[in-house]
Chain A
Amino acid sequence: MAIVPVELWRHEMRRCGLAALGTPVTVVACTALVSGMAGGGMREFLAVWLPGALLPLVAGACAVGVMAREVMPELQCTFATPYPVTVRRRLWLLVIATGLGAGVLGLSAAAGAAPEPGVAGAGVVLSAVASAAAFSLLLIGLGVYAAAGRGRPGSAAALVMTAWLAKPLVLDRIPLPPAAVAAVFTVAGVWLLVRGSARAGGEAV
C-alpha cells in the first residue's frame, strides 16, 4: 500500500471543509460545556445522553456534506487515482474527526455520569462511547451511500435524520444486547461506507 503524502492529506482536509471535520467535536464539546452549568439529573442527561445522541446525527450529516462538496466528480474520474479511493480518504478524515468527538464524549461522560449500582464508572463511559461510535459509523455509511451517485444531498441528509430518529423511538424500545447492536451497526456502517464510495465512483450507479 502506497504511503499517502502529508500534503495530500492536507488537501483532502481542505476538500472536506472545516464545517464537516470540526462540527462533530464542536457539538459534543458545546453540550459537555452546557452540562457543566446544569445540576442534578439534568447534568447526566447533558453530559452523557445528549452528546451521545447528537454525535451520530452530526457525523451522518457531515458525511453527506463531504460527499456533496465534490463539485467535479467527472474530473476526478480522469485522474490516475480511482475516485472511490479519494472518497475513502476523505471519509477516513471524517471518521477520525468523529472519533475525536467520541473521545470528548468519553471525557464528558467520565465527568458527568452518575454512578449506577453494580456497574463500574468505566463501564458506563465505555458503553456510552461505544454505542455512539457504532451508531455514528452506521449513519456515516448511510449518508455516504444515499448521497453517492445520483443521490441528492438534502434527501440523503433527511434519510440520515429518519434513521437517527428511528433508534430512540423504535429500536431502543426493543430489549436487545447493546454489544450486539453496536457490532451490527459497525459492520453495516463499514459495508455501506465501502459500497457508497464505490457508487460515487460510478461502479454500481
Chain B
Amino acid sequence: MSGGGWPVALTASARTEVTMILRSRMLWVAVAPLAALSLLLALTSARGAGLPPASRVADAAVMMNLLAGFGLTMAMADRLRLHRRTGLGDLLAATPGSASARMAGTLLGAVTVALAPTAAALLAYGAVMAVAAGSPGPFGTALAAVVVILIPSGLLVTTFTALAGLVLPLTVARIGAAGVWAWATVLNPRVLPIPTVSYTILSPGGGYPAVAWLGAPRSTAVLDGQEIGADAAAVNLIVVLACTAVLLTVARKWTERYR
C-alpha cells in the first residue's frame, strides 16, 4: 500500500467494511424491514393523490430518508468504536494510510451497505410510478434522490452517530443520536418549545433538494410550505457535506487523543 496515498486507504477500508458487514448479514436483516416499511408507506400513502408521479417520488424520498436516518442512528453507533478494541488502534496506526481516510472509508462502506435496501426501495417505488405514468421521469427522480438526498444525509447521520458512539456510552449514543436526528428533521417549534433546525437550510432532512430540484410539493411534511430556490438547495447540500467533514475531523482528533 506504500505510495498509494489516501485513495487507497479510503477504498481499502470501505471494501473491508462492506465485506465484513455482508458476511455478518445481520445489518441487512435489520435494515431490510425498515426499507420494506418505507416502501409500504410510500405505496399506501394518500398524501400525493393529485400530484405528478415525479413529485410523489420526491415526496416519498424525503420520508424514506427520515426513516433510514432513524435506522442509521441505531445501527452505526459502534462503527468507529470497533476499531478501538485492545491493540487494534495501535495496529491500524502503524499502517501507511491516513487515519482520516481510513475512518472515512469505514463509514462510507457501512453507509453503502446500510442504505442499499432503502435505495432499492426508493428505486422500486420510482420504477412502479414510472410504469404507471408510462414515462421514465419518476425513475430518474428516484435515482437523483438517492444521490442528492439519501447519500449526503446518510453520511452525515452516520458520522454523527459514530462520533457519539466514541464519546458516550453506546446506549446513550444511540438514543441521543435518534433524538438529534428528530430534532434536526421533524421536530419544530409547533410541537416542541425549543428552537430546532428542522425545515431550515441547516436541516439534513432532504426537503430543500427535494422541493427545489426534484419537484416535491411544499407541503407541511416536506418543507413547511416555504418558498425556496435552487441556490438554497445547493447551500443546504454543501452545509450537510461540510458538517460531515467537520464531524469526521472531530472523530479523528478524538481517536488520536484518546487512543
Contact = CB atoms under 8 A, between A and B. Distances in A.
State whether these chains interact.
yes
B75 A154 contact: yes
A159 B33 contact: yes
A157 interface: yes
Interface of A: 17, 19-20, 23, 27, 34, 37-38, 42, 45-46, 57-58, 61-62, 64-65, 68, 146, 150-162, 165-166, 169-170
A23 B194 contact: no
5 contacts: A157-B74, A157-B77, A158-B34, A158-B71, A169-B37
Interface of B: 24, 26-27, 29-31, 33-34, 37, 40-41, 67, 70-71, 73-79, 169-172, 174-175, 178, 190-194
Contact of B171 (A19, A37, A162): A19
A155 B191 CA distance: 30
Contacts of B171: 17, 19-20, 23, 61-62, 64-65
B75 A157 contact: yes
B175 A61 contact: yes
Nearest to A43: B193
Main secondary structure of the interface of B (DSSP, over half): helix
B75 A158 contact: yes
A152 B26 contact: yes
- Please list the 3 inter-chain residue pairs (A to B) with the smallest Cβ-Cβ separation, ordered nearest first: A65-B171, A155-B30, A158-B30
Contact of B37 (A37, A38, A65, A170): A170
A178 B27 CA distance: 32
B29 A162 contact: no
Given A19-B171, A154-B75, A154-B77, A161 B192 contact: no
A159 B30 contact: yes
A150 B73 CA distance: 21
